[in-house]
Amino acid sequence: MLETTRIYIADISVLKDSSVFENLLKRVPDYRQKKAMSFKFPKGKMQSLGVGLLLHKACEDAGIAGADERVAYGENEKPYLVDFPDVHFNLSHSGERVMCVLSPFDVGCDVEIIKGDRGRLAERFFKPEESAWIKHFDSLEKQSEAFYRLWTLKECYMKVTGRGMSLMPDKFALHVDENENISLYHDGERPEYTFREIDLRDGYRYAVCFKNDGKNAPQEVKRVDLKELL
C-alpha cells in the first residue's frame, strides 16, 4: 500500500532533441504515446510525454510498476488508476515544466509559468479580497508572483474536487495569513482541504492540494532529469 506522497517535477527542454524524445517515447504506455503524438505542435507533444514519463517513474518508484498502463477517466475527466483505487494521482504542465503527484490521498496539483502583470485577470476571476491581497505587495514582480500563487492553489483545489474548470475560481476564496498559512472558504471554511506550495525559484509556481490529512502524511519531492530515464 502506498504510504508516501510522491511529488515529481521535471524540465522538458531536453525533449527538444528529437533522438531523446523518440527514445523516451518508448518508455510510456501505448495510450500515452498516442496522446503525445496527437498534438499538432512540438510543445504539446513534449508536455504530454513529460507528464507520462513522470507518472511512469512515480509508479515504478512506488512499487506499482505498470499501474500507469491502465488509466481511466471519471466524472469531469478526472483520471484514476484502474487497478489501484486507493492510489491517487494528478498531472500538470506549463511552459517547460511538468509535474506529477502520486498519493494515498485525493490530490490535485498545478504548475504555472510566471508571466508578468495579471491584475486584470485577478479582478475578473478572483474574489475582491484576493485581488486586494495581490495589490498590497509593493512591486509588479511581487504582485505577479502573488497572482500565480493563488492561481496554482485555486487550480489544484479545482482538480482535487474532480470538477476542474467547471468550478470557476471566483466561486471560492483562499486566504494567506502573515504566517503563510492557507485557508479555503467554499460555502464556509473547508479545513478538510490543505495545501502545499513548492518554490524552486525557477520562474514557475507549484502547488498541491490534499483532501483530509494528506499534508501531514510523509511526502517526497523529487526533481527528475529526464535524460536519466534513457
Per residue in 138-147, pLDDT tens?
999 999 999 9
**The CATH number of the domain where 55 resides is what?**
3.90.470.20
Kindly state whether residue 128 falls inside one of the protein's structural domains: yes
Q: Is the pLDDT of residue 178 over 80?
A: yes
Phi, psi of 54 (to 5 degrees): -65, -40
Helix H or strand E encompassing 80: strand 79-81
Task: Give the span between the Cα atoms of 180 and 145, in whole angstroms.
Answer: 14
Task: Give the span between the Cα atoms of 227 and 50, in whole angstroms.
Answer: 11
> Considering the entire predicted model, what is its pTM?
0.96
pLDDT of residue 163: 86
pLDDT of residue 117: 75
Range 11-23 burial, b when 16+ CB lie within 10 A, else e: bbebbeeeeebee
Average pLDDT across the chain, whole number: 95
pLDDT of residue 65: 97
Q: Which three cell numbers stand for residue 203?
A: 520562474
Calculate mean pLDDT across residues 84-97. Answer: 97
Q: For residue 29, give the amino acid letter.
A: P
The count of other CB atoms within 10 Å of the CB of residue 186 is 14
- Angle, alpha carbons 65-68-73 (nearest 5°): 155
Kindly state whether residue 230 falls inside one of the protein's structural domains: no
Calculate mean pLDDT across residues 183-204. Answer: 96
In the chain, pLDDT over 70 holds for what percent of residues? 100
- Give residue 42's domain range: 5-225
Kindly state whether residue 147 falls inside one of the protein's structural domains: yes
Q: Which three cell numbers stand for residue 183?
A: 485557508
DSSP 214: G
What is the end-to-end Cα distance of the chain in Å, rounded?
28
In this prediction, residue 50 has a pLDDT band, given cuts at 50, 70 and 90, of very high
Structural domains counted in the chain:
1
Quick check: 1 and 30 in contact, CB under 8 A? no
